[in-house]
Amino acid sequence: MRNTNSKIFLLILLGSLTAFGPLVTDMYLPSLPSMTDYFGTQASMVQLGLTSSMIGLALGQLFFGPLSDWYGRRPPLLVAMSLFIVSTVCCIFSATIEGFIFFRLIQGIAGAIVVSRSIATDRFTGKELAKAMAIIGAINGIAPVASPVLGGFLTDSIGWKGIFIVLLILGVLLLFSNLH
C-alpha cells in the first residue's frame, strides 16, 4: 500500500510541477488591464511581463535541465522553487513596471520545471512510464486552458496581486513537498 501511495503522491507532484509553467504564464492574463491601471503605464509594457516570463521559461530549461542531469533532480528543483518564491514576492511588491518585468523574467527562469519528465523517466519503466507520461501530458494539456479561467475568477475576486499570492502559495507548497 505504501508503494502505491508514494507513486500516487509522486504523480500528483509531477503533474503539479508540469502545470506550473502554464500557471506562471497564463493565470495572470485576465488581470492585464488592471495592472495597466495600477502601474500607470501602457498595455504593451504590462504585456512585456508575459514576454519576459516566456523568455525566462526558455532560459530556465537551458539552465536547469543540464544542472539536473549533473547534480541530480532534487537540488536544482529546490533552487528553482526557492528562486520562484523570491521572484514572486518581488513581483507582488514591484513599485514599477520595469521591476515587475525583470522579476517576471526571473520567475519564468525558476518556473521552468523541466525535471518533472526527467523524474518520471528516472522512476518508472515500461507501462508505468507510459501511464505516468500520459498523466503528466494530460495535466500539461489542461493547465494552459484552465489557467486563464482561474485567473479571471481570481482577478475579479482578489485582484492581480492575489493571483501572484496564489502562485506564491503554490510555490511554497511545491517546495515543501519536495523537501520530504
| From 4-13, 118-127, 166-175, the region with the lowest mean pLDDT | 4-13
Q: Across the chain, what does the average pLDDT equal?
A: 87
Task: Determine how many CB atoms are found less than 10 A away from the CB of residue 10.
Answer: 15
For residues 175 and 53, the answer to whether their CB atoms sit within 8 Å is no
Residue 161: pLDDT above 50?
yes
Q: pLDDT-based confidence at 180, cuts 50/70/90?
A: low
Q: 93-138, pLDDT tens digit by residue?
A: 999 999 999 999 999 888 766 677 788 888 888 998 898 888 888 8
Terminal-to-terminal C-alpha distance of the chain: 19
The reported pLDDT for the residue numbered 1 is 46
The reported pLDDT for the residue numbered 3 is 57
The reported pLDDT for the residue numbered 119 is 83
The reported pLDDT for the residue numbered 135 is 85
Q: 12-37, pLDDT tens digit by residue?
A: 888 888 888 788 888 889 999 999 99
Query: What mean pLDDT do residues 27-48 have?
Result: 94
Q: What is the DSSP string of 119-174?
A: HHHHH--HHHHHHHHHHHHHHHHHHHHHHHHHHHHHHHHHHHHHHHHHHHHHHHHH
* Full-model pTM: 0.88
Q: 77-93, pLDDT tens digit by residue?
A: 889 889 999 999 999 99
